[in-house]
Structure 1
Amino acid sequence: MNGKRVFITVGTTKFDKLVKTVSNSDILNILHKLGYNQIQFQVGNGSYIEAKHDTIKLSYNTYFEDFDSEIEKADLVISHAGAGSCLQVLRKKKPLIVVVNDELMNNHQVELAEELEKYSYLYYCTCNILKEVLLKDISKLVTYPTPNQTLFASYINKCMGFA
């Protein structure tokens, strides 16, 4: 099937509002206009009703054994604001829209999303404005840098006098 694929993930949480929002015909029509024809939902432990759409294939799964594979197959990822999910997607160099769950109390996830958006690594929003954010140009997002795997070891070696 030609076209582009979206991966929606709520992680291990319950974020039915995100699943319901993306399953809405207005959002699906925008995604279709943007060239997407497949959406894979990872719905966690939430409860949801599978939606149907004339031009987009919608698939729903609770969890994936190979989460990285789902990210790699995606042309766009729409995720909850969990740090693990965000970093996993960014390290795979995939465009990312983070949807903050505004129903959580003391939501520290907003701070992470704000910081990552400040550097143009992702766009973030709430379910209420996802429609507007989908219309932003994802090609303007900056690729997340590859971490230096030897930095910490080099620092320890220097401190110990080995370097």
Structure 2
Amino acid sequence: MIFVVLGTHELPFTRLLEEVEELKQSGVIEDEIIVQSGNTKYQSDYMTLKPFVSYEEMDDLFDRARLIITHAGTGSVITGLKKGKRVIAVARLKKHGEHNDDHQLELVDVFLKQGHILSWNEGESLAEVISESDAFDPLPFQSGKQKMFSIIENFINES
């Protein structure tokens, strides 16, 4: 199963859904596709769309997915990485009315350079990125939170 995550941002992200649906219709994608669509209004005979789901259902969908295709929201990307999933991140872009600014491009760039994710950008073939994901071995993600706790704990213990 491929899990497509659009998050909860109030602006629509139909560009990604149109591309995924086209690949499903043409047979490039054979997997079942489940979409957490948030506020994006979209109808499809090829994908199961769920606007909002509970934390438990979201967790289960991440667990069951062989591939995560997600907007470049920090929470969605990191959840996929922490679960050891292959993640393709797609930045919502201001010029398409998908977000208020282009900060998601920066997030994609950081995770891409660190070897954690693949990305799909305008002008590229999503089919090729999905094909590349089959052999992609993401570098494990380690949150900086634990390092921060260790620094604080060491400071307290040395005082």
Residues 23 and 116 of structure 1, relative CA distance in 2, 3 Å threshold? same
- CA deviations over 1:1-21 (Å, ceiling 9, x no partner): xxxx10001010221221122
Counterpart-to-counterpart distance in 1, 2:52 and 2:26: 22
Residue pairs, 1:46-65, within 5 angstroms: 46-52=40-46, 58-65=47-54
Counterpart-to-counterpart distance in 2, 1:74 and 1:90: 12
1:154 alignment partner, one of 143, 150, 157: 150
Quick check: 1:83 aligned with 2:74?
yes
Which one-letter code corresponds to 1:21 in the other structure? Answer: E
Ranges in structure 2 where 5+ consecutive residues have no aligned partner:
none
Quick check: 1:120 aligned with 2:115?
yes
Q: Is the 8 A contact 2:86 2:136 kept in 1?
A: no
Which one-letter code corresponds to 1:46 in the other structure? Answer: T
2:135 maps to 139
2:103 maps to 108
TM-score for both structures, normalised by structure 1: 0.79
- Share of identical aligned residues, percent? 23
Root-mean-square deviation (CA), in Å? 2.3
How many residue pairs match? The answer is 150
TM-score for both structures, normalised by structure 2: 0.81
Q: Is the 8 A contact 1:89 1:96 kept in 2?
A: yes
Counterpart-to-counterpart distance in 2, 1:114 and 1:69: 28
2:36 maps to 42
